[in-house]
């Protein structure tokens, strides 16, 4: 059996969580990260993609890149953007995409167990990426992004996770993918529909063109909504 240990995590201040939350470092380019973090000093991209705060001509693995990551992490801790847990603990983390929901436990696992193959490797990673993240962890003295592992189903663990998920969450964030139609309608007895925080520079409302409108009308619920809206 593998060892999973609690730890004192740094978490975003609840009222700033939406500003701190960011994409993983390896799914966006440096230019995309610069655009996403522009005007937002609290974005964790300043730690995970620290090159965004340097001249684009500086190589990604330059010493200054890792030094900037460390400095930005220290700044966010000093300013209280990130706050450390008072005691070691395990956490429950949940993600939802459409009808799919997945949840798990956040904790410390053993590097030695990984090297002994007790924790199985699920992919072959490139050495340059391994070296980059190893140095990032070393320079920051922190693991800036989680490593996802799976474990065999254990009813006792599932029961604990479900009990925790029944409580109000510490952080509850909604992210809106780019170039996706979103429609939030108020209930009959409610004054407003769902309000979603968006980036004014990136998430600009656009009317659907004729082809997109035709696709929307092909969905019965959407067609009924559009018919009601036109009558109103």
pLDDT tens per residue across span 96-147: 887 888 999 999 999 899 889 888 887 778 888 889 999 999 999 999 988 8
Q: How many CA atoms lie within 13 A of 131 on its CB side?
A: 6
% residues pLDDT > 90 (the chain)? 51
Q: Is the pLDDT of residue 191 over 70?
A: no
Contact 105, 4 (CB under 8 A): yes
Q: Is the pLDDT of residue 87 over 60?
A: yes
pLDDT score at 146? 85
pLDDT tens per residue across span 2-51: 889 999 999 999 899 989 999 889 888 999 999 999 999 999 999 999 99
pLDDT score at 71? 98
Instruction: Note the residue count of the chain.
Output: 232
Nearest in space to 132 (alpha carbons), one of 60, 180, 69: 60
Q: Is the pLDDT of residue 178 over 70?
A: no
Contact 184, 193 (CB under 8 A): yes
Among 64-73, 106-115, 119-128, 219-228, the range scoring the smallest mean pLDDT is 219-228
pLDDT score at 66? 97
Could you give the CA distance from residue 217 to residue 223 in angstroms, rounded to a whole number?
A: 4
């Amino acid at each position: 059996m593998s060892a999973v240990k609690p730890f004192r995590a740094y978490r975003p201040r609840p009222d700033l969580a939406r500003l701190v939350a960011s994409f993983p470092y390896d799914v966006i380019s440096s230019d995309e990260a610069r655009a996403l973090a522009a005007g937002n000093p609290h974005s964790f991209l300043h730690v995970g993609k620290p090159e965004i705060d340097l001249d684009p001509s500086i190589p990604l693995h330059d010493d200054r890149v890792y030094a900037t990551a460390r400095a930005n992490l220290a700044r966010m801790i000093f300013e209280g953007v990130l706050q450390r847990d008072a005691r070691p603990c395990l956490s429950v983390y949940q993600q939802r995409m459409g009808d799919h929901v997945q949840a798990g436990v956040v904790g410390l696992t053993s590097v030695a167990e990984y090297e002994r193959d007790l924790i199985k490797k699920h992919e072959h990673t490139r050495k340059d990426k391994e070296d980059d993240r190893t140095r990032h962890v070393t320079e920051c003295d922190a693991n800036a992004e989680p490593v996802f592992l799976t474990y065999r189903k254990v009813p006792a663990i599932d029961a604990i996770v479900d009990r925790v998920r029944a409580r109000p969450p510490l952080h509850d964030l909604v992210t809106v993918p780019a170039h996706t139609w979103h429609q939030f309608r108020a209930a009959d007895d409610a004054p407003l529909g769902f309000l979603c925080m968006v980036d004014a520079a990136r998430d600009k409302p656009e009317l659907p063109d004729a082809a997109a409108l035709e696709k929307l009308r092909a969905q019965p619920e959407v067609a009924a909504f559009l018919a009601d809206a036109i009558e109103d």
